[in-house]
């Protein structure tokens, strides 16, 4: 999607991806190699002017190698900030951004001590590499400790208090090379089984200004360049920080049709030194992820105002294989169109 956004701007792309059948390979040169393969990284940097990443689990070793030779935007320190949940929470606190109670848990005894601090229920998470609900276990009582530790205890962990949230929201911002920033409207997200199912931007959300303050503070601290997504819980009408994604983000996919400038185009504008584009809404929209398999294309094409994106991924349980964005001229029109759409696509969402 970055490459598709960049083609109208005259940009060309090279992809370093360990997947043999990388989704982006039809759109540019594909270097099929491990992220830390120095020969491949050397070839990579010799072919491009500026590098970026769209996956926060790229090894920092690879990011440092690239950044020492050509501009890498966002910089490796942003990647580092988003890779360790404990360091991430500590950074939020350092910047005065509220977080749920948390504590490290690197042994079963430490887990029990951590639970005294966070209270129960709580969520035990791997500090690194978890996404889409992976690497997590819910602790409802003391009887859950041993099983959770057996499942996750071979790595560094963090215990976070379970948050009885009213909403889950994300704020996407973009910061340019000159320090100018732009923000998209706050997005309301719905997850199931730890996987994002729907995202809906909300114009004039009462928490927009608060979210922008937190995101601006973080981007300035990191001297960030590009799109950054900040996920929050809404509790008692206030924001609690959950996590960041130092990249374009699934909860911003609606921007392709729903905003004047998509998150993908604005990320490219930022990292190449172009002025940022407008983040204004074009109307009302709702993004739906397709999980596991895609609905028949003929079925999707028959639905009015539905914009389909297939990723070219092999169908697999709990895997995001595509998304669609429903657009409407107004919130009222979108509200009317959502229930029949979700009913028609329920098996794929």
Domains parsed from the chain with CATH numbers? 2-82 (3.40.50.20), 101-161 (3.30.1490.20), 167-348 (3.30.470.20)
Q: In terms of C-beta density within 10 A (0-12 exposed, 13-18 middle, 19 or more buried), how is residue 26 classed?
A: exposed
Per-residue pLDDT tens digits of the chain, which is 349 residues long: 999 999 999 999 999 999 998 999 999 999 999 999 999 999 999 999 999 999 888 999 999 999 999 999 999 999 999 899 999 999 999 999 999 999 999 888 888 899 999 999 999 999 887 666 577 888 998 888 888 888 887 788 999 999 999 999 999 999 999 999 999 999 999 999 889 999 999 999 999 999 999 999 999 999 999 999 999 999 999 999 999 999 999 999 999 999 999 999 999 999 999 999 999 999 999 999 999 999 999 989 999 999 999 999 999 999 999 999 999 999 999 999 999 998 889 888 8
CA atoms within 13 A on the CB side of 201: 29
Q: In terms of C-beta density within 10 A (0-12 exposed, 13-18 middle, 19 or more buried), how is residue 190 classed?
A: middle
Q: Are strands 187-192 and 238-245 parallel, antiparallel or unpaired?
A: unpaired
Phi, psi of 98 (to 5 degrees): -60, 140
CB contact set of 310 (below 8 Å; sequence gap of 6+): 294, 297, 321, 322
Classified as helix, coil or strand, 76 is helix
């Amino acid at each position: 999607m970055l490459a598709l956004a960049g083609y109208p701007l005259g940009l060309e792309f090279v992809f370093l991806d360990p997947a043999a059948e990388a989704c982006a390979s039809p759109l540019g040169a594909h270097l099929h190699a491990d992220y830390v393969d120095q020969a491949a990284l050397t070839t990579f940097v010799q072919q491009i002017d500026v590098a970026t990443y769209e996956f926060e689990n790229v090894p920092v070793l690879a990011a440092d190698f690239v950044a020492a030779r050509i501009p890498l935007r966002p910089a490796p320190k942003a990647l580092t900030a988003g890779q360790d949940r404990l360091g991430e929470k500590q950074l939020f606190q350092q910047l005065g951004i509220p977080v749920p109670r948390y504590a490290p848990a690197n042994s079963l005894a430490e887990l029990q001590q951590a639970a005294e601090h966070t209270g129960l229920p709580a969520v035990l998470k791997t500090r690194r590499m978890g996404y889409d609900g992976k690497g997590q276990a819910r602790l409802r009582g003391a009887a859950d400790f041993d099983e959770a530790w057996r499942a996750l205890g071979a790595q560094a962990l963090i215990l976070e208090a379970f948050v009885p949230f009213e909403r889950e929201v994300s704020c996407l911002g973009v910061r340019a090379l000159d320090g100018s920033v732009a923000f998209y409207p706050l997005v309301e997200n719905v997850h199931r089984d730890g996987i994002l199912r729907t995202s809906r931007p909300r114009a004039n959300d009462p928490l927009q200004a608060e979210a922008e303050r937190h995101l601006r503070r973080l981007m300035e601290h990191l001297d960030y360049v590009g799109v950054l997504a900040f996920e929050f819980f809404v509790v008692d009408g206030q924001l609690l920080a959950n996590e960041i994604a130092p990249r374009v983000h699934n909860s911003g996919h609606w921007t392709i049709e729903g905003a004047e400038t998509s998150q993908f185009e604005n990320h490219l504008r930022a990292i190449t030194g172009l002025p940022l584009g407008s983040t204004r809404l074009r109307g009302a929209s709702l993004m739906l992820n397709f999980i596991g398999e895609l609905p028949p294309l003929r079925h999707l094409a028959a639905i009015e105002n539905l914009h389909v994106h297939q990723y070219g991924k092999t169908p697999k349980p709990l895997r995001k294989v595509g998304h669609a964005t429903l657009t409407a001229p107004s919130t009222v029109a979108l509200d009317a169109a959502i229930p029949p759409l979700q009913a028609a696509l329920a098996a794929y969402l």
